[in-house]
Structure formats: C-alpha cells, structure tokens
C-alpha cells in the first residue's frame, strides 16, 4: 500500500539528515516521490500532497513556500 510506503519513507527521512536535506531541496512532490523510488519506496506526488498537515514521527508534511507544492520539515 502506498500510504505505508510513504510513512516508511518519512520515518527513514527523520533519521537521515542527508536524505532530509535532499528532499527539502526539491521543488515538487513528484521530485520527492522520485527520490523515494530510488530508495525502494513507491508512492506518488499526489499521495504526498494528500498528507499535507499530517505528522509522521518528527516529520510534518506542510506547504512549501513555492506556489502549488507541498513538503515536510
């Protein structure tokens, strides 16, 4: 299930500063999904966007300052 994959990726991200920095440097949710796919996690940018406002571990998915995109911090 993609939601399980997304949550697992976010949990991994909270313990890997280099991964978190790579993700925070992206411009779109689809870019984040491509990074995750390289690491074996499958979810779409749309699924990530649907997580906006939700917290997984120490990661909260939130709106990015760039118009039209969301991401976590």
Kindly report, residue by residue over 26-65, the tens digit of the pLDDT.
Answer: 888 999 999 999 999 999 999 998 888 888 888 888 766 5
The residue-averaged pLDDT of 9-27 equals: 92
What's the burial of 4, exposed, middle or buried (CB within 10 Å: 0-12/13-18/19+)? exposed
Chain-centre distance for alpha carbon 41: 11
Distance CA 35, CA 23 (A): 8
Distance CA 32, CA 9 (A): 10
What is the predicted pLDDT for the residue at 11? 92
Chain-centre distance for alpha carbon 40: 14
User: Could you state, in order of their start, the residue ranges of all structural domains in the chain?
Assistant: 2-72
């Amino acid at each position: 299930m993609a939601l399980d994959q997304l949550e697992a990726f976010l949990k991994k991200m909270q313990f890997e500063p280099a991964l978190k920095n790579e993700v925070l440097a992206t411009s779109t949710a689809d870019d984040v999904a491509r990074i995750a796919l390289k690491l074996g996690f499958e979810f779409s940018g749309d699924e990530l966007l649907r997580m906006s406002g939700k917290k997984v571990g120490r990661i909260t998915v939130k709106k990015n300052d760039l118009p039209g995109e969301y991401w976590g911090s």
